[in-house]
Amino acid sequence: MAGYNLKEIMNKPERLTPGHRMCAGCGATIGVRAVLRALHENDRAVIGNATGCLEVSSYTYPYTAWEDSYIHNAFENAGATLSGVETAYKALKKRGRISEDVNYKFITFGGDGGTYDIGFQSLSGAMERGHDMVYVCYDNGAYMNTGIQRSSATPMYADTTTTPVGKVSNGKLQGRKDLAGIIAEHNVPYVAQTTFTKDFRDIHTKSERAIYTEGACFLNVLAPCPRGWRYEASDVMNICKLAIDTCYWPLFEVDHGKWLLSYEPKHKLPIEDFLREQGRFKHLFKPGNEDLIVQFQEEVDRRWEDLLYKCAR
Amino acid sequence: MSRKDRMSGNEAVAYAIKQINPDVMPAFPITPSTEIPQLVSTYIANNEMDTEFIPVESEHSSMSATIGAEAAGARSLTATSSCGLALMWEELLLAASNRMPCVLALVNRTLSGPININCDHSDSMGARDTGWIQIYAENNQEAYDNFIQAYPIAEDRRVHLPVMICQDGFITSHAVQNIELNEDKDVKEFVGEYHPEEFLLNSGNPIAIGPYSISNYAMEARKAQEMAMESSKEVIIEVAQKYRAKFGRGFELFEEYRTEDAEYIMVIMGSAAGTAKQAVDDLREKGVKAGVLKLRVFRPFPAEEIAKALKNAKAVAIMERTESYNGHGGPLCSEIRAGLFEHKVYVEAVCYTYGLAGRDFTVDHVYDIFKELYEIINSKKDYKQHRYINLRTKEEI
């Protein structure tokens, strides 16, 4: 995006204010603030939120950290709830109960539990119906709010509390679901996968595109969790960089059906570089488990090749 | 002014929705309430109303979207039956606790299993403690009249609670009966425009809805909700009186049919009240002092008023169209008996379970029940306090 200026963007007033109770080094709030910075300053917003860490830590009665109107309903229905809000906006606008010059945007946040799993149906319905909204998944790859249980976003071999590593277990057996791809198959106008890069340009550009594209849009944001992934809080940006450079978490967008790769590392790093930084994969580095890393690498490669193919079409 | 027509219960409720023309209606089809969203969609397709209809992918989402729309400042509603209501159960609690004055048109159908599409009250009775006001209808006319009263009750500042307008599946929802319809302008005037005090789209005044509430605050929120339910009783009565004054029809908390001097009273809810009233007319001809108390409002529960209405009876049959599986009758029995005891009214009160999953209930059954009440009082024999009516088994249960 021409004219992108990190300093300028970072100086915009925060729409998720300090004082919330999220952990230090948590990716969710970094992601939320980055997405909300893409809102044009004069535009109002209604923020939706599935139950999860973000909700219980940002709106604990009687305090809210949200500058915009905000609604949390339940765990599995952030898509449906915001589709009701967005439809109400349409109805009230039509009937002249909201003045012409007032402009609202609708953005909802859910973790991977509320988005990939329990809220999947509600999300799919909202996307298919084409409500003018953005659904943002902050994907930290497990049910962190309830204490690090596996989700369908959890990567293979991760140690979680429901796929614990043990004498006869190497962690989660299955690979992660490709949610961005699945939502793209809904043929919505805009889907993107992103995370935090040094200049925040990728997430900013994609958020702005999602918010200001009419119709149902979806952002999948890798949002590391220091408790669940077991890394030092200060390492969050490094973890994200390794996720991108190993091609574990490729950056791409699907714009009106067209697949576009946002970033291709000059030197694709081996997956060990991403895994080694995280306590949840510690067991993979024990002697005798080399084949597990090989399998992990093969899966990353297969998916990366598949993405390159889609983007080259 | 009104005009006469013939309509099914579903048509009557859909017609009331058209006349009110609410802002948003999310819905998902389920027998026997499916016609309501179908008819509303057809009215919209023909430009007879301009409500925004959301064809959601489940009932959990229909109630979720109803809450979202209502929170945003739109007058909202949905319709469902049976398992649809069960699926939205979590959201029923949230609609009430978030104090959303939305409306649900419920067409009563039994809950699975075994799966069955016919009427009983197990769906709404299962949702009796979700914090919704529940109003029941005997026929299409009452379903129509009750629906028009729903928003004035729900949106009253003393209430701010959701309202469930119930009618019996198929028996009321699909049977075509005569009906008196109000003029559109009279309905619009009665219901009024919706001006919520606080809402998400209140430009310049953002609000947050649905907090995590720690133990220091959550109990007060529950109490405030309970107080709203208590004060809804006077609002329901006021709205019913206003409706009666304007349109000449309707009851308040319940209808008392030939109970002034009744020795034996049947308490019943929904369409079977018509059967009971017919049987009471027949019995009165034979000199039996029988009467019917037809309950209209189940939530809030008018325990004191019912106790007062039953205090001169010798025996009462409490008719239960659901099973609680608690081993001693259903919810209506438990609550009426508790109310009688609390208000020191000591009458014989027998619980009869009838009409589950659409099982027939006829005037003959009503005769038998009144005969049994007579025998209980006059023979002083021991009797079982919880009985089933019209089972296939030949043995006495």
Contact B61 A79 (CB under 8 A): yes
Q: Retrieve residue A77's tokens.
A: 């229905």
Q: Name the pLDDT band for B395 (thresholds 50, 70, 90).
A: low
Q: Before B302, cis peptide (omega within 30)?
A: no
Chain B hits for A89, CB-CB cut-off 8 Å, are: 72, 201
Contact A84 B69 (CB under 8 A): yes
Q: Strand pairing partners for A222?
A: A139
Query: Directed axis angle between helix B140-154 and helix B184-191, to 10°?
Result: 40
Q: Before A62, cis peptide (omega within 30)?
A: yes
Contact predicate A138/A109, CB 8 Å: yes
- Give the whole-number percent of chain B exceeding pLDDT 90: 95
Q: Which range marks the domain in which residue B288 is found? A: 254-388
Q: Name the pLDDT band for B383 (thresholds 50, 70, 90).
A: confident
Contact B211 A64 (CB under 8 A): yes
- Give the whole-number percent of chain B exceeding pLDDT 70: 99
Give me the CATH number covering residue B202: 3.40.50.970
Is B155 inside any structural domain? yes
Contact B68 A121 (CB under 8 A): no
Measure the CA–CA gap between B308 and B273, rounded to whole angstroms.
20
Chain A hits for B207, CB-CB cut-off 8 Å, are: 69-70
Looking at the complex, report in whole angstroms how far the Cα of residue B135 sits from the nearest Cα belonging to chain A.
25
Higher pLDDT among residues B397 and A200, named by residue: A200
A152 pLDDT higher than 70: yes
Q: Retrieve residue B168's tokens.
A: 């019996």
Top residue of B188, B199, B209, B217 to mutate, by most chain A CBs within 10 Å, is B209
Contact predicate B301/B133, CB 8 Å: no
Average pLDDT over residues A294-304: 98
| Cα–Cα nearest to A127, from A202, A205, A213 | A213
Same structural domain for residues B333 and B195?
A: no
Among the partner residues A60, A69, A79, nearest to B207 by beta-carbon distance: A69
* One-letter amino acid of A86: E
Q: How many domains does chain B have?
A: 2
Chain B hits for A92, CB-CB cut-off 8 Å, are: 23, 72-74, 201
- In chain B, DSSP assigns E strands to 2-7, 24-27, 52-55, 77-80, 103-108, 133-136, 163-168, 177-182, 208-209, 254-257, 264-268, 290-295, 297-299, 315-320, 348-353, 386-388
Chain A hits for B62, CB-CB cut-off 8 Å, are: 80
Contact B56 A80 (CB under 8 A): yes
Those of residues 215-254 in A touching chain B at CB distance below 8 A are none
Top residue of A36, A63, A64, A92 to mutate, by most chain B CBs within 10 Å, is A92
Average pLDDT over residues B342-364: 97
pLDDT in tens, A201-258: 999 999 999 999 999 999 999 999 999 999 999 999 999 999 999 999 999 999 999 9
Give me the total of CB pairs closer than 8 Å, taking one residue from chain A and one from chain B: 166
What is the pairing mode between strands A165-166 and B290-295? Answer: unpaired
User: What pLDDT was estimated at residue B396?
Assistant: 54
Same structural domain for residues B267 and B228?
A: no
pLDDT in tens, B82-125: 999 999 999 999 999 999 999 999 999 999 999 999 999 999 99
CB atoms within 10 A of CB B228: 21
Same structural domain for residues B104 and B225?
A: yes
| Rounded-to-5 percentages of helix, strand, coil across chain A | 40, 20, 45
A1 pLDDT higher than 70: no
Q: Retrieve residue A16's tokens.
A: 């998720």
User: What pLDDT was estimated at residue B295?
Assistant: 98
User: What pLDDT was estimated at residue A3?
Assistant: 80
B15 to each of A86, B143, B181, how far by Cα in Å? 26, 11, 9
pTM for this structure? Answer: 0.97
Among the partner residues A60, A62, A71, nearest to B200 by beta-carbon distance: A71
Looking at the complex, report in whole angstroms how far the Cα of residue B393 sits from the nearest Cα belonging to chain A.
44
Domain A6-312, CATH = 3.40.50.970
Same structural domain for residues B74 and B191?
A: yes
* One-letter amino acid of A192: A
| Residue indicated by tokens 């339910």 | B229
Measure the CA–CA gap between B254 and B232, rounded to whole angstroms.
15
User: What pLDDT was estimated at residue A2?
Assistant: 58
A181 pLDDT higher than 80: yes
Contact B211 A97 (CB under 8 A): no
- Residue A289 near chain B (CB below 8 Å): no
3-state secondary structure A64-103: ECECCEEEECCCCCHHHHHHHHHHHHHHHHHCCCCCCCCC
Phi and psi, residue B4, nearest 5°:
-90, 145
| Residue indicated by tokens 């204010």 | A17
CB atoms within 10 A of CB B191: 21
Same structural domain for residues B261 and B223?
A: no
CB atoms within 10 A of CB A186: 17
Same structural domain for residues B19 and B118?
A: yes
User: What pLDDT was estimated at residue B328?
Assistant: 85
Of B216, B247, B278, the residue that ends a domain is B247
Those of residues 65-94 in A touching chain B at CB distance below 8 A are 66-74, 76-77, 79-85, 87-92, 94
Q: Where are the domains of chain A?
A: 6-312
Same structural domain for residues B150 and B47?
A: yes
B190 pLDDT higher than 80: yes
Measure the CA–CA gap between B159 and B165, rounded to whole angstroms.
16
Same structural domain for residues B171 and B87?
A: yes
| Residue indicated by tokens 């614990």 | A164
The continuous run of DSSP H or E covering A63 comes out as: strand A63-64
Among the partner residues B54, B58, B203, nearest to A84 by beta-carbon distance: B54
Q: Name the pLDDT band for B380 (thresholds 50, 70, 90).
A: confident
3-state secondary structure of A174: coil
3-state secondary structure of B294: strand
Same structural domain for residues B190 and B269?
A: no
Mean pLDDT, chain A, integer: 97
Q: Name the pLDDT band for B385 (thresholds 50, 70, 90).
A: confident
User: What pLDDT was estimated at residue B394?
Assistant: 67
Helices (H), B199-271: 215-247
ipTM of the complex: 0.97
Q: Retrieve residue A213's tokens.
A: 């594209």
Same structural domain for residues B202 and B264?
A: no
Is B397 inside any structural domain? no
Same structural domain for residues B309 and B213?
A: no
Same structural domain for residues B16 and B132?
A: yes
Chain A hits for B212, CB-CB cut-off 8 Å, are: 55-56, 59-61, 72
CA A58 to chain centroid: 17
**Which residue is closest to B221 within chain A, CA to CA?**
A61
Give me the CATH number covering residue B322: 3.40.50.920
* One-letter amino acid of A116: Y
